[in-house]
Amino acid sequence: MSFSYPKKEKLKSQKLIEKLFSEGKSIGAYPLRIVYLKSNFEDDTRFKTGVSVSKRNFKNAVDRNHIKRLLREAYRLNKAVYFNNILSSYALMILYIGKDGTDFESINTKMKDLLDAFSKKVSETK
C-alpha cells in the first residue's frame, strides 16, 4: 500500500454514507471516532474513507477545513502501516468530535491509536 490518497479511495457515495451511519460500527479514541462497515466495491479498492468535522462545534468553514486537511494527512501517512494485513473491503468515516482546535502532532498520534484499534477489532472478527 502506498502513501497516496487517490480519488478512488475517497468515500463519496451518499447511499453508502447513509448505510454506513445506520448499520456501521464505531470505535473511538477521543477526539476521533471511526465508523466502519464491511462492503464490496466495483473497483478493486479495499478502503473508501471520508472525513467529517461537526459544524456545530466549528462554526467557521476555515477551521473545519483545516481540521479535515489534518485528518486526511494523518490518515494518508498511517494507512499503509495498519491496513496491509486486512484483506476485506471496508467503508470508513473518520469523525472529529472534539470541541477545540488542534495541531497535527496530536491528531497524528490519535489517528495511530484509532487505526490500531480498528485493525485489532477487524482482525478479531475474521
The alpha-helical segments, DSSP class H, found in the chain are: 14-23, 61-83, 104-124
| pLDDT confidence of residue 126 | 61
Domain of residue 77, CATH code: 3.30.230.10
* C-alpha distance across the termini of the chain, in Å: 21
pLDDT, position 108: 96
Q: pTM higher than 0.75 for the full model?
A: yes
3-class secondary-structure state, position 32 = strand
- Residue 48 domain boundaries: 7-124
> In the prediction, which pLDDT does 113 show?
96
25 within some domain? yes
- Structural domain includes residue 61: yes
pLDDT tens digit string along 86-120? 889 999 999 999 998 889 999 999 999 999 999 99
Residue 2, domain member (yes or no): no
46 closest CA partner among 87, 4, 5 = 87
Q: Is residue 96 part of a domain?
A: yes
* 118 belongs to a structural domain: yes
For residue 45, the surrounding DSSP H or E stretch is none
Q: Is residue 112 part of a domain?
A: yes
Find out whether 70 and 104 touch, Cβ atoms under 8 Å.
yes
How much is the CA Rg of the chain, to the nearest whole Å?
14
Please count the structural domains in the chain: 1
pLDDT at residue 1, as a whole number: 64
In a domain, residue 88? The reply is: yes
- Angle of CA points 20, 37, 52, to nearest 5°: 50
Which pLDDT tens digit goes with each residue over 32-68?
A: 999 999 999 888 889 999 999 999 999 999 999 999 9
